Amino acid sequence: MAGVEIREAAKIYYIKGNPVYALADINLSIADGSFVTVVGKSGCGKSTLLRLICGLEPLTSGTITFTADGCVKRRSEQRISMVFQEPRLMPWLTVEQNMAMALIHEPDKQKVKATVDHFLSLLGLKRFKDAYPRQISGGMAQRTALGRTLCYDPDLILMDEPLGALDAFTRRNLQKEMVELFQQQRKTIVFVTHDVDEAVFLGQKTVVLDAGRVIREVAIPLDYPRVITDRAFFLLREDIMNMIMSD
């Protein structure tokens, strides 16, 4: 697992020579083994934040450091995986083969099979292991993408609206599965979403972004599993929604 410390981080893009701040003055602590959700309006910098954490984009200024077992680590010492809104599966590979791609450099084939079999079972995909992406539903495709990530055994999982394209029923089921997986695996997860209900349902802490800045960090002191009709859930949801709408 890995914690993340972000200090005075900024990301500037230049459009026709003019600076545009995607993120500015970001100070954020993500505890090792925690589930953090990030919400905000479109264009507030949510996806940029993930790209900076995983190193897909360089910082303009500031620092991002990683911690494990109380020690500071370099990014290169961390196993970081990212799950996108689209599953991004290889269409010529089966469900099983797509998940096994995460272990392509593992020489022990028995270990690869045991690992993939474990997550196929855990994610309810055992019956579909020989199916191709075109033969499975969107929910199963996203579970396959998540399984590929879990096979990699990352210290940190970054998720960029991974359930955003799914129907409401599939989305709710996968949210419940993600909570169960988090409780079993205790991986550090940073989950970007535009859905406030989803943020409160999943996260131990919700970070609210607006115009490239952190405007609030909201602790979610609710036990798992959570019920969206509970009064405490409703009040937290309304509090976060008001923060977003008022800025």
- For 222-238, what is each residue's pLDDT tens digit? 999 999 999 999 999 99
Provide the number of structural domains found in the chain. 1
Residue 78, SS3 per DSSP: coil
Residue 210, SS3 per DSSP: strand
| Contact by Cβ (8 Å): 197, 228 | yes
What local confidence, expressed as pLDDT, does residue 246 receive? 78
What local confidence, expressed as pLDDT, does residue 247 receive? 58
| Average pLDDT, integer, range 65-75 | 82
What local confidence, expressed as pLDDT, does residue 113 receive? 96
What local confidence, expressed as pLDDT, does residue 122 receive? 86
Q: Which of 89, 110, 85 is nearest to 101 (CA)?
A: 89
Whether 174 is in a domain gets the answer no
| pLDDT tens digit sequence for 204-222 | 999 999 999 999 999 999 9
Whether 117 is in a domain gets the answer no
pLDDT tier at 68 (50, 70, 90 boundaries)?
confident
Whether 45 is in a domain gets the answer yes
- The answer to whether residue 69 scores a pLDDT higher than 80 is no
| pLDDT tens digit sequence for 144-177 | 999 999 999 999 999 999 888 788 888 898 899 8
What local confidence, expressed as pLDDT, does residue 46 receive? 95
Whether 94 is in a domain gets the answer no
Whether 219 is in a domain gets the answer yes
What local confidence, expressed as pLDDT, does residue 245 receive? 86
- Residues 118-154 as b/e (b if ≥16 CB within 10 A, e otherwise) read ebbebbebeebbebbbeebebbbbbbbbbbbbbbbeb
Q: In this structure, is the dihedral angle defined by the CA atoms of residues 22, 1, 198 and 82, taken in order, positive or negative?
A: positive
What are the φ and ψ backbone dihedral angles of 162, each rounded to 5 degrees? Answer: -70, -15
What local confidence, expressed as pLDDT, does residue 73 receive? 77
Whether 197 is in a domain gets the answer yes
What local confidence, expressed as pLDDT, does residue 78 receive? 86
For tokens 């960029």, the residue is 160
Residue 117, SS3 per DSSP: helix
Whether 98 is in a domain gets the answer no
| Contact by Cβ (8 Å): 188, 33 | yes
Domain enclosing residue 210, as ranges: 1-79+159-166+188-247
Q: Which of 62, 57, 83, 79 is nearest to 2 (CA)?
A: 79
Least confident of 43-47, 72-76, 238-242: 72-76
Whether 236 is in a domain gets the answer yes
The CATH code of the domain that includes 48 is 3.40.50.300
What local confidence, expressed as pLDDT, does residue 1 receive? 65
| pLDDT tens digit sequence for 7-59 | 999 999 999 989 999 999 999 999 999 999 999 999 999 999 999 999 999 99
Segments of 48-141 assigned E as strands = 61-68, 71-73, 80-83
